[in-house]
């Protein structure tokens, strides 16, 4: 296992310390590193809290800040955080307007956030994201997995929360954005969980995993490496087949690297995806490209499409100031 | 070779098309894809032009925009752009105040930018960056290599150019920032140049290349993989030994991923570097962390330290609006 680490036990804590120090203008690390919270809270605003297993950075801690999350709870690598983390986070960031949990659809996360919502003794609602069209059920999930589309939900709902909209409205908005959003991924190589020490799966030199999950879970099929155009065609075919957007729709195109993919390849995939979307009569009116919802050092990418209306687009465009997203 | 591409011949052009489409609010792609230029020029401002071989993205095209570069000329992967590219770029972005070339110290780049300066028929000055302390001479360079510190020069000089400072002042500033800046890198894996099809070098499962260059050039020595703390200690030892900053100095710490390194490891390296710098009596007053000056999908990182004074820090903090850096 080749990693820039000191010891398997301290990967998460040392990384969180570095993150909190590097972005001390934006975030504060909670006691016992239970959560990363926004440094400056906005009284009266609903608190947005997310979290999940680590190894997907910058999701979620990199999205804590003005216009997005108020707190993120980091679990061990690919392991759900515990309910006491979410409870501590809510106590730290809820200014009285209640809290909204944004939770990726994995059994451990859903269960732990549910327990935390009960334990918190405050008004808490939840949005579960399940944007991955690759499979209906996976190793760690019942129903579709929550993947890169979670970022879109966090950004749009984060902008709405900044306008002091009430909790129930934000939950409805989050569910709506999730319903407008679909993703699918492909892996060219595996990742290695530090505590495991070996690759999660193996692929031959000419193979790829089409429909892979962000923990390296199996996808639809293991096939021979195809061209970027063919990969984009299959991913967008599945995404658009499920979304069924009316021709003429506007969309957000998120091409997301899994951690080991050069920027050059991500933009090449943007180009491939744009041609296909144009051929289907869709207009890409907003772009986001980068390694934002990752699987450690996995090579590969996912494509996410969100169908935009004027309101969603305006919220997407609203200012955001976090470690990983700023505009 | 596992890459998200359609054909080796079209990697660069398809990637540039995707980049230009995704960031059409900020950049325009020049004719025949000779350069990427800022969409909105500022009349009377010195034009900042950089470029170099592709494969280091987001350097340089990702740094084109307000507060940083006016144009970037992309060569083929790890191959200098040609003089006609720089000439076309200068013609497109020089509004009359002259142009400053920012050039990484590699023989091909230095020669081609020099020819372009002669051919341009305009007032052109040059800053050559050579921040890599690993080796004095490398495969492609005479003298030290220009690596991630180039970003710092581009950011600081870009901010000063935005204040309409004259060309000669900007050249002097660029040279000063370069002189305050040192870097060193380590590779855990090689990268693969698409046209070559095979890894540039090979490392055993327990080896790393200490002092690697951003084209995979040999560094100081190939040794057994060490801890993050030991790696940071060796890199900062070389950097600070060369910089000799007075105790109490303030610095910018740039931890840069080479393309295949997870965010989690980069922030762990930030933590390691901060401890060492504090032990040397240096204050890290500014941070930048990310995969910003890359070597395709190489795993590993570099550390860059720039000694800051008030003027440099103020220019670093000035607003920047590019595809890859925004604040």
Mean pLDDT of the B264-278 span: 98
The rounded mean pLDDT for chain B is 97
Residues 180-209 of B with CB under 8 A from A: 186, 188-189, 205, 208
In a domain, A3, yes or no: no
In a domain, A201, yes or no: yes
Inter-chain touch A301–B4, beta carbons under 8 Å = yes
Mean pLDDT of the B28-56 span: 98
**What residues in A contact B262, CB-CB < 8 Å?**
55, 57, 259, 294, 296-297
According to the model, what pLDDT value does residue A88 have?
98
Q: Residue A218 is part of a domain; what is its CATH number?
A: 3.30.1180.20
In a domain, B2, yes or no: no
Closest Cβ opposite residue A57 in set B6, B58, B262: B262
pLDDT digits (tens, 9 = 90+) for A246-265: 989 999 999 999 999 999 99
What is the CA angle B168-B75-A254, rounded to 5? 105
- Please say if the pLDDT value at position A139 is more than 90: no
Inter-chain touch A62–B299, beta carbons under 8 Å = no
Inter-chain touch B57–A264, beta carbons under 8 Å = yes
Mean pLDDT of the B98-116 span: 98
Mean pLDDT of the B23-51 span: 98
Going by C-alpha positions, the residue among B211, B291, B282 that lies closest to residue B244 is: B282
Q: What DSSP state is assigned to residue B239?
A: H
Residue B167's pLDDT band, with cuts at 50, 70 and 90, is very high
A23 an active-site residue? no
Q: How far is A171 from chain B (nearest CA, A)?
A: 30
CB neighbour class for A226 (10 Å; exposed up to 12, middle 13-18, buried from 19) = middle
Inter-chain touch B14–A271, beta carbons under 8 Å = yes
Q: Looking at the whole model, is its pTM more than 0.90?
A: yes
Q: Residue B91 is part of a domain; what is its CATH number?
A: 3.40.50.10440
Q: Which residues contact B9 (CB under 8 A, 6 or more apart)?
A: none
Residue B184's pLDDT band, with cuts at 50, 70 and 90, is very high
Helical segments of B81-227, H only: 83-93, 107-119, 149-162, 167-179
Q: Does B57 touch chain A (CB under 8 A)?
A: yes
In a domain, A1, yes or no: no
According to the model, what pLDDT value does residue B2 have?
95
According to the model, what pLDDT value does residue A136 have?
86
In a domain, A2, yes or no: no
In a domain, B327, yes or no: no
Same structural domain, A170 and A228: no
Inter-chain touch A268–B205, beta carbons under 8 Å = no
Same structural domain, A42 and A130: yes
Same structural domain, A161 and A24: yes
According to the model, what pLDDT value does residue A72 have?
98
Same structural domain, A166 and A215: no
Q: How far is B169 from chain A (nearest CA, A)?
A: 31
Q: How far is A48 from chain B (nearest CA, A)?
A: 23
Structural domain for A214, as ranges:
181-314
Q: How far is residue A179 CA from its own chain's centroid? A: 15
According to the model, what pLDDT value does residue B136 have?
86
Name A141's bridge partners.
Answer: A138
Characterize A279-314 residue by residue with b for buried, 16 or more Cβ atoms within 10 angstroms of its Cβ, and e for exposed. eeebebebbbbbbbbbbbbbbbbbbbbbbbeeebbe
Same structural domain, B83 and B205: no
Comparing A54 with B138, the larger pLDDT belongs to A54
Number of domains in chain A: 2
Same structural domain, B75 and B214: no
Same structural domain, A196 and A127: no
In a domain, A327, yes or no: no
Same structural domain, B42 and B154: yes
Residue A150's pLDDT band, with cuts at 50, 70 and 90, is very high
Same structural domain, B143 and B195: no
pLDDT digits (tens, 9 = 90+) for B222-248: 999 999 999 999 999 999 999 999 989
Same structural domain, A101 and A232: no
According to the model, what pLDDT value does residue A137 have?
80
Of A23, A56, A287, A321, the active-site residue reads: A56
Residue matched to tokens 């465009």? A317
Inter-chain touch B22–A205, beta carbons under 8 Å = no
Going by C-alpha positions, the residue among B6, B5, B88 that lies closest to residue B51 is: B88
Determine the number of helices (DSSP H) and then strands (DSSP E) in chain B. Answer: 8, 14
Helix (H/G/I), strand (E/B), else coil: B85? helix
**What residues in B contact A265, CB-CB < 8 Å?**
3-5, 15
Residues 248-287 of B with CB under 8 A from A: 259-272, 274, 284, 287
Q: In this structure, are residues B320 and B327 in contact, taking their beta carbons and an 8 Å threshold?
A: yes
B56 an active-site residue? yes
Mean pLDDT of the B101-107 span: 97
Residue B251's pLDDT band, with cuts at 50, 70 and 90, is very high
**How far apart, in whole angstroms, are the C-alpha atoms of residue B170 and residue B156?**
9
Residue A142's pLDDT band, with cuts at 50, 70 and 90, is confident
According to the model, what pLDDT value does residue B139 have?
81
Residues 134-153 of A with CB under 8 A from B: none
In a domain, A70, yes or no: yes
% pLDDT > 90, chain B: 97
Same structural domain, B85 and B200: no
Same structural domain, A147 and A281: no
pLDDT digits (tens, 9 = 90+) for A264-285: 999 999 999 999 999 999 999 9
Q: Is B248 left (phi over 0), alpha (psi -120 to 50) or beta?
A: left
């Amino acid at each position: 296992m080749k990693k820039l680490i000191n010891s398997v036990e301290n990967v998460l804590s040392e990384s969180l310390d570095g993150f909190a120090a590097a972005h001390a203008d934006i975030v504060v690390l909670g006691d016992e590193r239970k959560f990363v919270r926004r440094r400056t809270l906005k009284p009266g605003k609903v608190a947005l809290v997310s979290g999940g297993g680590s190894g997907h950075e910058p999701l979620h801690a990199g999205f804590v800040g003005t216009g997005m999350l108020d707190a993120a709870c980091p679990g061990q690598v690919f392991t759900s955080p515990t309910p006491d983390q979410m409870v501590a986070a809510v106590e730290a960031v809820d200014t009285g307007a209640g809290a909204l949990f944004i939770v990726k659809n994995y059994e451990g996360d859903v269960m732990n956030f549910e327990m935390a919502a009960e334990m918190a003794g405050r008004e808490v609602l939840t949005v579960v994201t399940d944007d991955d069209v690759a499979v209906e059920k996976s190793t760690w999930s019942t129903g579709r997995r929550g993947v890169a589309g979670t970022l879109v939900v966090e950004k749009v709902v984060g902008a709405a929360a900044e306008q002091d909209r009430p909790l129930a409205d934000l939950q409805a908005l989050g569910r709506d954005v999730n319903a407008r959003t679909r993703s699918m991924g492909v892996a060219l190589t595996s990742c290695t969980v530090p505590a495991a020490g070996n690759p999660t799966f193996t692929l031959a030199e000419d193979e790829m995993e089409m429909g892979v999950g962000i923990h390296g879970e199996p996808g639809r099929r293991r096939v021979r490496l195809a061209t970027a155009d063919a990969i984009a065609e299959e991913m967008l075919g599945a995404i658009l087949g499920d979304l069924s957007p009316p021709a003429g729709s506007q969309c957000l195109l998120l091409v997301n690297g899994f951690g080991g993919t050069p920027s050059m390849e991500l933009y090449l995939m943007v180009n491939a995806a744009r041609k296909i979307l144009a051929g289907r009569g869709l207009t890409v009116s907003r772009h986001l490209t980068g390694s934002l919802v990752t699987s450690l050092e996995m090579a590969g990418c996912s494509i996410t499409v969100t169908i935009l209306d004027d309101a969603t687009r305006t919220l997407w465009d609203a200012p955001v100031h976090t470690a990983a997203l700023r505009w």
